[in-house]
Amino acid sequence: MKNVIEMKKSYFLLLAFSFLFGITVQGQSTLTLHTEQAKTKINKEIYGHFAEHLGHCIYGGIYVGVDSDIPNIRGFREDVVGALQDMKIPLLRWPGGCFADTYHWKDGIGPQHKRPSIVNVHWGGVTEDNSFGTHEFLDFCELIHAEPYINLNVGSGTVQEASEWVEYVTSSNESPMTKLRKENGRDKPWDVKYWGIGNENWGCGGNMTPEYYADLYNRFATYCRGNLYRIAGGPSVDDYNWMRVIMQKTSLHPYLVQGVSLHNYTFTTSWTDKGSATDFDEGGWFSVLQNTLKMKTLIERHSSIMDQYDPNKRVGLIVDEWGDWFNVEPGTNPGFLYQQNTLRDALVAGINLNMFNNHADRVKMANIAQMVNVLQSVILTKEKEMVLTPTYYVFKMYSVHQDATMIPVNLNCDDYEYNGQSVPAVSASASVKDGVVSITLCNLNPEKAESIDLTLTGQEFASASGQVITSPNMNDYNDFGQNEKVALKAFDVKKPKNGKLSVELPSKSVVLVQLK
């Protein structure tokens, strides 16, 4: 009884101090990892990327040509190739995007000097010489060890054009298309599994109704033959009717569809108020992270619709365009969508990847937009120089999750509050691969460290190590000709004891903890 009285005295004394000095009494954040329940594979394709003919993503960012004085391998930037190999890029989507539905693939094969040019009507109205086409893209994918994902032209193309592209790339039979491929220097077919049938057909891909597109999809998919992973053009953000119609109509021919796409971008406030990529205060920080977290609702609501027609989760949810979209950098071409990349973008990447990991039973692929020089890119280039962005380092850190087994987690954490609104202060996901448990954690709070107690059920571990991405200022970014401000650094982690481990996450940070 005496001990109870003393405990009550201590509690009320703590409350008194809290009242007098403005200290808030908060519960300790906890993360429980159910290692014994790990069974769902996190597809490596969740860590995919997107490269569209947009601005300097392809030309100047990836491809400079064999005659360039920028060091290159068969025309591909040597520094970019090395960086992507080191990041362990698993998959690359091409040629778009909106560009895909104006792209006619036969214009991009054969001798480069004989290829007709094309006006990029979607992005800046620039004229391109088609020197980067099918062979160059697939050569580049082989060079960086990435799976290729090709988006077919449905908006302005034909079924014949699409089926012949598939045949040209994948067939080993004797046919006019395989003969043409061999004439252009490639004897053996490429192993291209992933094919998108149209892009944003509710918008730039044709302004179609979901009913019309679904019927058109079934027609195109029927004639794109082979052991393919066909991806239907799915909804924009929260267009749940589009998802329902696509699932209804394609479920009549289930062998024709293996995935349905979802596109969702994060803005500061809205499409018309995207905000600056670098010039923002805590309000800009908070609103972007708050909007990023809406991805969880989108995944869960679209998945629930898919479950009605596909309860066995045979069809994958393919988030093949996601990331931050801000105003272009001052003085740059508005049609090129060039933006810098700060620590805030690193948090956005980490939070999204955690959400994809935790929904790996349905999310089978995701492609951040875009890989080089466009939107939330992992690499920036300027003539001979290259910059690795904070987002690059998140993908490098999170590569440990590729093809690992997802560990279900229960997270209880404090809220990060700003201006009367709040979001969870911590985001987390975990996986196991080759006996190593990897836990990725994001502290969304830019002002306060977050202590979190980890509990691991079903297994004991002998050692722990860690990495961290953070910086003194939320606006910090890496720029040309300067030392990096945001990069991967070692992070001290104590050895777990009796299945428990305490970690203090620095403010505005992304952290990896690995246990063996």
Q: Which residues are catalytic?
A: 200, 321
Query: Does residue 92 sit in helix, strand or coil?
Result: strand
**Burial class of residue 59 in the structure, from the number of CB atoms within 10 Å of its CB (0-12 exposed, 13-18 middle, 19+ buried):** middle
Residue 513 and residue 466 in contact, taking contact as beta carbons nearer than 8 Å: yes
Query: Does residue 277 sit in helix, strand or coil?
Result: coil
Cβ-based neighbours of 498, under 8 Å, separated by 6 or more: none
259, containing H or E segment: strand 259-266
User: β-pairing, 72-73 with 415-418?
Assistant: unpaired
Residue 206 and residue 101 in contact, taking contact as beta carbons nearer than 8 Å: yes
Distance separating alpha carbons of residues 421 and 11, to the nearest angstrom: 28
Distance separating alpha carbons of residues 3 and 65, to the nearest angstrom: 78
Residue 307's φ and ψ, nearest 5 degrees, are -60, -30
Tokens of 108: 């991009």
Query: Does residue 10 sit in helix, strand or coil?
Result: helix
Distance separating alpha carbons of residues 453 and 398, to the nearest angstrom: 21
Tokens of 99: 């560009």
The three-state DSSP-derived secondary structure of 126-176 is: CEECCCCCHHHHHHHHHHHCCEEEEEECCCCCCHHHHHHHHHHHHCCCCCH
182, containing H or E segment: helix 176-183
